[in-house]
């Protein structure tokens, strides 16, 4: 009976050790990304021509190991970007021949970006790929004056956007349960023809 109890306890301890052996990672991530978007008609008259710009984006990350070399990776990124340049049709008092005129309208977009990735891990390099979901919290017009054209809801008709992300990274163990992971990523957002291209640094705690 004692031998049976010892065997059961030993098996339990081995199983518990296997469960607790660094199968989870949580961390904070810092992204430096270039945001570019294509020209788009807001409606039949107004054309939106955004500028390419570089932004700093913080976030948090969770990774769950499912096999020796595979894991599922979730991220929560908070983005606050500025977008500008709209082309409007001519005003009634403009001279004949002036088909269009450009006004620099600056809007501040606040969005949440959620990548959900399958990650292949190796000693040399890691590969991640998966869909992304982006939610527009707010689009606020910044440079409003008495002569400004006030942008309505037609400028941002969709709250939810779908995209995908591809990422290459390298895991560097720093100390015991801590690691850092520099990466390079490409994240197109299909609904708004928007592209994120950048580098990131992830600081993980393994448990």
The predicted pLDDT at position 35 comes to 87
User: What average pLDDT is seen over the chain?
Assistant: 80
Judged against a pLDDT cut of 90, whether residue 170 lies above it is answered with yes
Judged against a pLDDT cut of 90, whether residue 140 lies above it is answered with no
The predicted pLDDT at position 16 comes to 42
The predicted pLDDT at position 14 comes to 47
Confidence of residue 30 (pLDDT cuts 50, 70, 90): very high
The residue that leads in pLDDT, 172 or 148, is 172
**pLDDT, mean of residues 29-42:** 82
**Burial classification of residue 200, based on how many CB atoms lie within 10 Å of its CB (0-12 exposed, 13-18 middle, 19 or more buried):** buried
Judged against a pLDDT cut of 50, whether residue 11 lies above it is answered with no
**pLDDT, mean of residues 44-48:** 65
The residue that leads in pLDDT, 168 or 150, is 168
With CA atoms as reference, report the closest residue to 29 among 128, 108, 121, 109: 128
Bridge-partner residues for 165, per DSSP? 130
Judged against a pLDDT cut of 60, whether residue 32 lies above it is answered with yes
**pLDDT, mean of residues 72-100:** 71
């Amino acid at each position: 009976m004692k031998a049976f109890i010892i065997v059961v306890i030993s098996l339990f301890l081995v199983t518990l050790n296997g469960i607790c052996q660094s199968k989870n990672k949580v961390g904070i991530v810092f992204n430096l990304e270039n945001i570019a978007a294509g020209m788009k008609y807001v409606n039949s008259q107004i054309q939106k021509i955004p500028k390419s710009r570089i932004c700093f984006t913080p976030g948090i990350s969770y990774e769950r190991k499912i096999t020796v070399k595979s894991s599922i990776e979730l991220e929560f990124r908070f983005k606050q970007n500025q977008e500008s340049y709209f082309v409007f049709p001519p005003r009634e008092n403009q001279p004949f021949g002036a088909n269009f005129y450009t006004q620099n309208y600056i809007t501040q977009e606040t969005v949440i970006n959620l990548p959900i990735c399958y990650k292949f891990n190796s000693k040399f390099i890691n590969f991640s790929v998966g869909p992304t979901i982006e939610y527009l919290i707010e689009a606020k017009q910044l440079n409003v004056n008495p002569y400004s054209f006030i942008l309505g809801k037609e400028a941002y008709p969709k709250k939810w956007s779908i995209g995908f992300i591809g990422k290459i990274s390298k895991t560097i163990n720093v100390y015991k349960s801590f690691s850092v992971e520099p990466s390079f990523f490409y994240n197109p957002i299909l609904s708004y023809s928007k592209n994120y291209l950048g580098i990131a640094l992830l600081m993980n705690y393994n448990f």
